[in-house]
Amino acid sequence: MEPYNPMAHIFLPILLFSSIISTNIHACNQIEHNSLLSFTLTLSSSPLNWTSSVNCCQWNGITCNQDGWVTHLLLPSEELKGGIFPSTSSLGNLTHLTHLNLSHNSLYGSLQTEFFSFLKHLEILDLSYNLLSGELPLYLPSSSIKKLDLSSNQFHGAIPSSFFQQTRNFISFNVSNNILSGPFPSSICLKHSSRLTRVLDFSSNKFNGSISRGLGECSELRIFRASHNNLSGFLPEDIYNATKLEELALALNSLIGAVSDRIVNLTNLAILDLYYNQLSGVLPLNFGKLSKLKQLNLDFNHLEGALPPSLMNCTNLIEIHLASNNLEGDISTLNFSKLSELSKIDLMTNEFTGILPISLYSCRSLKAIRLIENYIEGQIQVEILSLKTLSLLSLSGLTNFTGAMKILMRCKSLRTLILSYSFKGEEMPADSGMVDFDGFQNLRYLTLYHCELTGQMPLWLSKLKNLEILSLKGNRITGPIPSYLGTLPKLFCISLADNLISGEFPKELCGLPRLVHEPTAAQVVDDYLELPIFTAAAQNPIFYPRRLSNFAPTIDLSLNHINGRIPSEIGKMRLLHNLDLSINNFSGNIPNEISNLKNLENLSLSMNHLSGQIPSSLASLSFLKSFNVSYNDLEGPIPTGTQLQTLNASEFKGNSKLCGSPLPNECLNKSINVDNKNHLVLDNKHQIPWFYIFFALGFIVGFWGVCGSLIIKKTWRYTYFQFVDNLQDRLYVMMTVHMRRRLRG
């Protein structure tokens, strides 16, 4: 017999009581149960399986409190589709709801004030990434709301000035990526509004005008974003009172004025993003007081003067972007060695002078260096090999091409190499042994732009098996295009424009694997560029994709001396988007096989010696945006019924025998003559040959009329032959007398 255990009698009732309580503590309220089911009925597509259990507190995305009231409805990325508003009668019954997240779905409708009036306990509302539209309500009735995210929808109109009146606990407000317009709502922290706001994101809308005072009252503000709007005027001075700011982003606007010296008040600032504005003046000398600064982006402004030396005291800097300004000064005087965390530096298109700073090689975390289009000179030093993670290098003003290549080929992480306006007049070494077997093993993007390099295309290029984009534009390269280019397995974009290249278009180039077959997933992996590639034009720069796989497949051989026919094999490159063979010496017809290039968008064959007609099959190129065949010897009508008629007439001029729209000279007369000729040929095939019949009849009648009479009438026959004999005798006598007279004379 087991001994008596008094503790068992104590804990057994407790366990039984707790189990009874647990079965009822989250019992779903019947009204809210029905309201949730009613909500699913408003959706045209609902993958929610909420009918499997009676207790709604056990449904996916539902959380209840101890009294069984629904407090959390979290259904992000559930592929919900349909109208959510007005459905206030259903969700509005969830009166204890504190968290509502329906983001990343396909819900539509407008946001109504009544919706908030029922949800008086709502603290967090996330409706981002849906299809919601309409104007924002006049105000938010709930004073409990702390976070409101309406980003990436289609809301429009102005934000009412009364919108924030009752938001005394507001912490975060995000309406980015909508179509909101009107004046910027700077009064969010004024009057009766919350001063606890930490995050404000108004980016990617259409707000206009200047930013008025008021943001300085947001004493707790950490993040302020209003990039990509139509804002103008000066930065409000009171913004520098928000001393807890960690991110200030106002890029892609039209702000003017200088960066104020008061910016050093923002000692917590980690991100300063003001690129693509119209800011001017010099950078504050005491910039180095921003000791927590990690990202500085002032690209595409009108800043001038030298970089403040104190900038080198911002030892937490990870990225420096100051491209396309008017900055100047001797860059070699700056000591970058303190910036141990520096990952990217972009000073492209300024007026910096001096020698390429050796101190940059002390920044061992560097992944991208772009100092191109300045007045910086020097040579590549072997110390660059200490940058083990260097992926992008863009420089100009260099000398010693051979030495540079021999060093850079040992940079194992180098993927993008852009060297322009360098090595003036130097010869490109053709020795295949210059690049080792594993040299440039990861290089994908190679540009030697306007370097005026001489010689022929080197054989060592054939070893760059990972090369995807090659540009040798603006050099003095001679000789033919090497056939080995057609064997590079990943190459899909080639520019050899503006050189002295001769010979014919190599047929092997038409077999480039990346232009013939779609790339595999393994070929396009990890192709992200560390810095955006763009043209140097300050007013309207062209930005290229950040991924190499998104570059348009291109062959540009313009402005050379290439001759011969355009090979028919060109039709194999079915993935080609741009083909430019202009200003060469190509002859013969435009090959009909070009119509196989179904992805072709731009085709330029101007200023050659092409003849014949424009193939009518080009009408099948539905993506063709530009087509230039000016100044050739083409003839006949321009193919009709296609987008070719929408092009400018200048793209066809210089072909005197070419006719039809969009040229002013019509093809009517010529087409009629051709038609008449064709009809004549067709009619002749079916006409009775009367000429030959009459000729035969005339011959028969004439022959037998004479010869038949001689055969039948004997007296006529004797008379005829006697006449012939007498005529022969007379001719003989006349000729004999004539000859004797001449001999006497």
**pLDDT at residue 684, rounded to an integer:** 44
User: How much is the pLDDT for 729?
Assistant: 55
Query: Which tokens in the block code for residue 56?
Result: 């709604």
State the pLDDT at residue 645: 79
SS3 state at 612: strand
Instruction: Please determine, for residue 561, whether its predicted confidence score (pLDDT) is greater than 60.
Output: yes
What's the burial of 692, exposed, middle or buried (CB within 10 Å: 0-12/13-18/19+)? exposed
* Predicted confidence (pLDDT) at residue 444 exceeds the cutoff of 50: yes
Q: Which is more confident, 440 or 713?
A: 440
The answer, yes or no, to whether residue 690 has pLDDT greater than 80, is: no
Tell me how far apart the alpha carbons of residues 65 and 244 are, in angstroms, rounded to a whole number. Answer: 36
d(CA 397, CA 347): 14
Q: Where are the beta strands (DSSP E) in 551-632?
A: 554-556, 563-565, 578-580, 585-589, 602-604, 609-612, 626-628
pLDDT of residue 737: 45
Name the average pLDDT for the chain: 85
DSSP-derived 3-state class of residue 735:
helix
What pLDDT shows up at residue 710? 52
Residue-wise pLDDT tens digits, 3-14: 545 544 444 443
CA atoms of 276 and 274, how far apart (whole Å): 7
- Say if CB 558 and CB 586 are below 8 A apart: no
Superfamily per CATH, domain 497-532+547-680: Ribonuclease Inhibitor (3.80.10.10)
Mean pLDDT value across residues 95-120 = 87
Q: What is the pLDDT of residue 344?
A: 97
Q: How far is CA 736 from the centre of its chain?
A: 100
* In the predicted structure, residue 88 carries a pLDDT above the cut 80: no
**528-556: average pLDDT:** 83
Say whether 745 sits in a helix, a strand or coil.
Answer: coil
Above pLDDT 70, what percent of the chain? 83
Provide the pLDDT for residue 620: 84
Residue range 451-510, pLDDT digits in tens: 999 999 988 899 999 999 999 999 999 999 999 999 999 999 999 999 999 999 999 999
pLDDT confidence band for 112 (50 / 70 / 90): confident
Across residues 261-265, what is the average pLDDT? 95
Both tokens of 587, joined, read: 């002859």
Range with lowest mean pLDDT among 74-88, 265-279, 348-362, 530-544: 530-544
Report how far Cα 703 is from the mean position of its chain's Cα atoms. 86
Mean pLDDT of the region 195-216: 92
Burial (0-12, 13-18, 19+ Cβ within 10 Å), 329: middle
What's the gap between Cα 433 and its chain centre?
Answer: 37
CATH architecture of 26-134: Alpha-Beta Horseshoe (3.80)
CA distance 496 to 474: 8
Across 11-20, 166-175, 347-356, 703-712, the highest mean pLDDT is recorded for: 347-356
User: Which 3 state secondary structure label does DSSP give 281?
Assistant: strand
In this prediction, residue 167 carries a pLDDT of 74
| Stretch 322-338: mean pLDDT | 95
Give pLDDT, residue 39.
Answer: 86
Q: For CA atoms 143, 145, 149, 154, give the dihedral sign.
A: negative
**Does residue 223 contact residue 198 with C-beta atoms inside 8 Å?**
yes
425-457 b/e with 16+ CB inside 10 Å = b? ebebbeeeebbeeebbbebbbbbbbbbebeeeb
Nearest Cα neighbor of 185 from 173, 168, 196 is 173
For the stretch 155-186, pLDDT in tens is 999 998 888 877 778 899 999 999 999 999 88
